[in-house]
Structure 1
Amino acid sequence: MTLISSVSRLASTSRRNILATTLLYAASLTVRSTSAVGSDVETASLLTGRNDGTSSVTTSDGVRIFYKDWGPKSAQPIVFHHGWPLSSDDWDAQMLFFLGKGFRVIAHDRRGHGRSSQVNDGHDMDHYAADVAALVQQLDLRNAIHIGHSTGGGEAARYVARHGRDRVAKLVLIGAVPPLMLKTESNPGGLPLKVFDDLRGRLAANRPQFYFEFASGPFYGYNRPGAEPSQATIWNWWRQGMMGSAKAHYDGIKAFSETDFSEDLKSIAVPTLVLHGSDDQIVPVADSAPLSARLLKHSTLKIYDLLPHGVCTTHPDIVNGDLLRFVTA
């Protein structure tokens, strides 16, 4: 394991114009209204401007997984795995950046999230990883770099460990849930089950309010003294969350909190970069990034001083720079 020290000050984010916030809010309501009265395929057509089947893969259990695939097909692919309860849209800043650097960039909406099918079953890490394998096989991606944030970090780790050994060049985990979030006898530094039960309770009681409060506070560190919340960022998080299925998100809490990735990490042999904010209030750093880095065979660990869980959005220049240095090394 290689350890890199990084001290970064929280950069102030400018407050967006209230008109932009209003438009984002209206757009999110339009999407929810459409998905309520039409099929999920119609919703995908609304959001992508097409319904020709080229932006989705159907898994062996009949689930349609929406994806984006930008850039030259001959370029090295980078596959992005989003966090809970968001969508591939959460990677906009990274996808555009790497597209401009000549890479092929791919991101999918996890089953039950975003524009993918809102199915009843399969909201667990084994299915998540298998869905990625189906996507990778359809696109015939080789020598790929997989980058996962939060829950997406767990998904990426399980995919690489169980499906991607011959197709993966490197792995990046950002604010990721491995090795295990839940407090157990073997993981005494984890979070108590009550924390996740409370999340499920708040989601079931009032999902729109819960998501608004989650994005307005701990996810981006907007609850810290001196923070300047971006209303556009908050509503974009809310929009992505509300596009998905309440059932998938409810079940997904168990998936990201109770899955033990220790054996996955031990089996991964590709170079892996582990990035984490020291002020991550969602996935506390002490029981995640350093432990994952020690379990991995070839890891580089970098801790961002005072940065939050949603660091890819709040500080894209810092993250993108470190990612570029790692993928091109």
Structure 2
Amino acid sequence: MGFVTTKDGVEIFYKDWGPKDAQPLVFHHGWPLSADDWDTQMLFFLSKGYRVIAHDRRGHGRSTQVSEGHDMDHYATDAFAVVEALDLKKAVHIGHSTGGGEVARYVAKHGEPSGRTVKAVLVSAVPPIMVKSAANPEGLPIEVFDGFRAALAANRAHFYHEVAAGPFYGFNRDGAKVDESVIQNWWRQGMAGGAKAHYDGIKAFSETDLTEDVKAISVPTLVLHGEDDQIVPIADSAHKSIKLLKNGTLKTYPGFSHGMLTLNADVLNADLLKFIET
């Protein structure tokens, strides 16, 4: 574990586990979480002989709680700073939710141009764009995201608990088996980060148009999405992204939630391993 300092002076925390000569897998977390959200995947792939890396986005987790730069361009540039500092080559980049948007921009702007990326994975990811507009009439109304901002500003601790205890993991569905430890871990990660970064991050994940980034990706890309995702609706994201990708594969999961990488790690890990090894 360590820190990489970006060109604008932000300290980005990262984990780097496994043999340094093994193929690197780089994990990009969702909003408002941290690298810890990938612990299950990192331990699994470490056991398979891979080098696994995950970083805390600026303002999240253990990285510097700066006031500025909470946008996809900075997210991608910060990720590249970690990749360059560790000299990662032939890497597979795997992003969940907002991290999927980060992966799309990273691969398009840095990963492929530098020749350091060989594959990408978008898990329950936000691309191409979430918010409703004239160009994206199927998207979610801006009022949804305004509500997120209002709830965060009013009582961030309560808001985060409600998200984790409800739609994120599908715990609000009839018959759902609620796991309080999962809720607490989500809340712990969220509250470790900065309110300003998380507030600004709502705009970053909802309003950033990643259409051209997705179109620019040519490396093999796996798109994974739960069919009962209440946070990033599958019709607005995965079904659109797969049409834009030059070399994409789509796999969907009936009944799986936005938090499927945690609740259904055994299924997700097996599918990720198959894609990486193919």
Structure 2-normalised TM-score? 0.99
- SS at structure 1 position matched to 2:120: strand
User: Displacement, 1:65?
Assistant: 0.1
For residues 272-329 of structure 1, the C-alpha deviation after alignment (integer angstroms, 9 at most, x for no partner) is 0000000000000001001101101000001100100000000000000000000000
Aligned equivalent of 1:141, options 65, 88, 110:
88
CA distance in 2, matches of 1:169, 1:101: 19
Number of aligned residues: 276
Q: Hey, what's the Cα distance between the residues in 2 that align with 1:186 and 1:302? A: 26
* Deviation per residue, 1:31-87 (Å, 9 max, x gap): xxxxxxxxxxxxxxxxxxxxxxx6000000000000000000000000000000000
| 3-state DSSP of counterpart to 1:160 | helix
1:106 aligned partner, one-letter code: I
Alignment counterpart, residue 219 of structure 1, candidates 151, 162, 168? 168
Q: CA deviation at 1:228?
A: 1.2
Runs (4+) of structure 1 exceeding 6 A deviation are none
Q: How does 1:94-133 map to 2 (within 5 A)?
A: 94-133=41-80
Residue in structure 2 matched with residue 158 of structure 1 by the alignment: 105
In structure 2, how many angstroms separate the alpha carbons of the residues matched to 1:320 and 1:293? Answer: 21
Q: Work out which of the residue numbers 269, 272, 276 in structure 2 matches 1:323.
A: 272
Q: Is residue 82 of structure 1 aligned with residue 29 of structure 2? A: yes
User: Alpha-carbon deviation of 1:208?
Assistant: 0.3
Confirm whether residue 204 of structure 1 aligns to residue 149 of structure 2: no
Structure 1 counterpart of 2:244: 295
2:257 match: secondary structure: coil
Q: Supply the distance in 2 between the matched residues of 1:96 and 1:78 (Cα, whole angstroms).
A: 12
* Partner in structure 1 of residue 214 of structure 2: 265
Number of the residue aligned with 1:283: 232
How far apart are the structure 1 equivalents of 2:149 and 2:91? 35
1:175 and 2:141 matched: no
1:190 is aligned, of 136, 139, 149, to 139
Q: Which residue pairs with 2:253 in the alignment?
A: 304
1:222-258 deviation digits (Å, cap 9, x = unpaired): 0000001101100000000000000000000000000
SS at match of 1:182: coil
Between the aligned partners of 1:227 and 1:122, the Cα distance in structure 2 is 38
Aligned partner of residue 171 in structure 1, secondary structure = strand
Specify the code of the residue in structure 2 equivalent to 1:89. D
Partners of 1:247 and 1:229 in 2: CA distance: 30
Root-mean-square deviation (Å): 0.5
Structure 1 residues not aligned, in runs of 5+: 1-53
Residue identity matched to 2:105: R
Residue identity in the other structure for 1:293: I
> Which sections of structure 2, spanning at least 5 residues, go unmatched?
none
Tell me the distance in 2 between the aligned counterparts of 1:279 and 1:225.
13
